[in-house]
Amino acid sequence: MLVEAILKTKGRDVVTIPETAKLDEAAHLLDANAIGALVVTDARRRPVAVLSERDIVREMALHGAAALTRPVSQAMTPAFVTARPDATLNELMVLMTDRRVRHVPVMEGNTMLGIVSIGDIVKTKIADMEAEAAALQAYILS
């Protein structure tokens, strides 16, 4: 299965935040949208990084409550890991494991098509296994 298939199922909406925004705004966006990461954009609204809940917690551990007044640019994950829509699920799982990330924006050239999380992959894998089990049961019963 390709990453594109996951985006067709889950949708292509991506919540973004400017790199100049404060971490308290990021925390509110994460909560309001019930998501675990935001795509950070530069002044030209191009995606440049991912800011996860983990990044905010790390900043809080290092700087206390004052961390929430710091700009997103000081907390975001610096390595911007992306995938192409034609990447396979297995390639994406290897990428996420090797780079230790849980959210990967899907890019085609300079265009962001969506974002895939580890939860999306798990959900897809479970659905695939359930379909395979149902097919095997149907085969055995026929």
- Our CA dihedral for 14, 17, 23, 25, rounded to 10 degrees, sits at -90
Spell out the domains of the chain, with CATH numbers in brackets.
3-141 (3.10.580.10)
Percent of the chain beyond pLDDT 90? 82
**HSE-up of residue 51 (Cα within 13 Å, Cβ side):** 32
Per DSSP, the residues of 32-92 read HHT-SEEEEE-TTS-EEEEEEHHHHHHHHHHHGGGGGGSBGGGTSBSS---B-TT-BHHHH
For residue 132, name the pLDDT band (cuts at 50, 70, 90): confident
pLDDT in tens, 51-75: 999 999 999 999 999 999 999 999 9
* Confidence (pTM): 0.86
